[in-house]
């Protein structure tokens, strides 16, 4: 089992590589898909957290969501899932995938304090996503890969309590939401308080004035590769990237008649659509990941060679 340390320095490098611009925040949420904490019951803030790479199976929670306290450069880790549970995927199959989805990796600026399932017995304070984002829906099997269709919508996926008690749990409450281990304070009998890691996650965020939280979602593999130094660094442009390199990407896609928007340096829905369509044409479905990396840069004749901050 491969493990790696994640800390403030590594996160800043990831932000630079992906050309993200962080808003002024005291607390930032970081999702690592396909990696679990070596200390799942310790939610204290530390200078570094150790994670183990894990394969997703859509049955057990196999992800981590971190809270990054910018002022102290410390991280707290929380067992989580960033993909839907297999029961939701199965239910969605009979509706051509509608009802379950998997969020693309990227940067999402606005997970806002609010309610998940407001007005119901299980409704609880959580963090609502308030914008369109790229998702995949599966209509043919029980996982999410590059063969699955891409949609751009807001299916009301939130970051909330996951209703599970350990990494061995075979159920968790998600059809596409980002969910954290524990049980919530809600209208159900016996649920008078938040329990488990969710209680700490909720308290850390709700006890500060900040109302909206940036969320950066990565795969465990890409974080591991950067932490271990196994691959050369190169810039990667994806949903949420901003700046001059995104403008260069947009210009290249426009030259090839894929991008029709303004050259604004903002990698949003329009840029994502253009990039995926280009990748489908050049690489086929297996290469259409919505991320401009070295091979895409080569085909577009743009330079994504890494430069230090």
Q: Does domain 234-300 have CATH number 1.10.10.10?
A: no
- Cα 156–Cα 161–Cα 167 angle in degrees, nearest 5: 120
Where do the structural domains in the chain lie, given as residue ranges?
A: 3-222, 234-300
Residue 39, classed as helix, strand or coil, is coil
The 8-class DSSP code of residue 156 comes to -
Provide the pLDDT confidence category of residue 168 given band limits of 50, 70 and 90.
very high
Q: Are strands 178-180 and 74-81 parallel, antiparallel or unpaired?
A: antiparallel
The 8-class DSSP code of residue 305 comes to B
Two tokens, residue 211: 């109302």
Two tokens, residue 145: 């890969």
Which residue is associated with the tokens 């050369």?
A: 232
Provide the pLDDT confidence category of residue 172 given band limits of 50, 70 and 90.
very high
pLDDT score of 294 = 95
Q: Which of 67, 75, 71, 73 is nearest to 45 (CA)?
A: 75
The mean pLDDT of the chain is 96
| 1 pLDDT more than 80 | no
> What is the number of alpha carbons within 13 Å of residue 83 lying toward its C-beta?
26
| pLDDT tens digits, 35-81 | 999 999 999 999 999 999 999 999 999 999 999 999 999 999 999 99
């Amino acid at each position: 089992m491969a493990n790696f340390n994640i800390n403030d320095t590594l996160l800043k490098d990831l932000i630079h590589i992906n050309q993200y611009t962080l808003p002024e925040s005291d607390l930032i949420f970081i999702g690592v898909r396909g990696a679990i904490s070596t200390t799942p019951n310790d939610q204290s803030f530390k200078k570094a957290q150790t994670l183990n790479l894990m394969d997703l199976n859509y049955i057990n929670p196999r992800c981590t969501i971190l809270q990054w306290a910018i002022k102290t450069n410390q991280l707290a880790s929380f067992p989580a899932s960033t993909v839907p549970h297999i029961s939701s995927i199965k239910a969605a199959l009979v509706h051509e995938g509608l009802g379950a989805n998997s969020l693309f990796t990227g940067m999402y600026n606005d997970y806002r304090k609010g309610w998940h399932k407001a007005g119901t017995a299980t409704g609880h304070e959580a963090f609502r996503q308030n914008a369109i984002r790229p998702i995949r829906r599966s209509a043919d099997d029980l996982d999410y890969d590059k063969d699955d269709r891409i949609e751009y919508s807001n299916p009301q996926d939130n970051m909330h309590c996951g209703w599970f008690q350990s990494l061995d749990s075979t159920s968790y409450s998600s059809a596409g939401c980002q969910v954290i281990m524990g049980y919530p304070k809600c209208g159900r009998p016996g649920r008078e308080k938040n329990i488990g890691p969710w209680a700490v996650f909720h308290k850390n965020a709700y006890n500060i004035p900040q109302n909206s939280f940036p969320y950066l979602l990565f795969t465990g593999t890409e974080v591991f590769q950067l932490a271990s130094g196994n691959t050369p660094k190169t810039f990667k442009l994806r949903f949420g990237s901003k700046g001059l390199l995104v403008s260069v990407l947009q210009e290249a896609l426009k030259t090839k008649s894929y991008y029709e928007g303004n050259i604004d340096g903002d990698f949003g829905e329009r840029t994502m659509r253009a990039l995926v369509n280009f990748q489908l044409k050049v690489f086929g479905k297996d290469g259409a990941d919505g991320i401009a990396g070295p091979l895409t840069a080569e085909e577009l004749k743009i330079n994504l060679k890494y430069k230090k901050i």
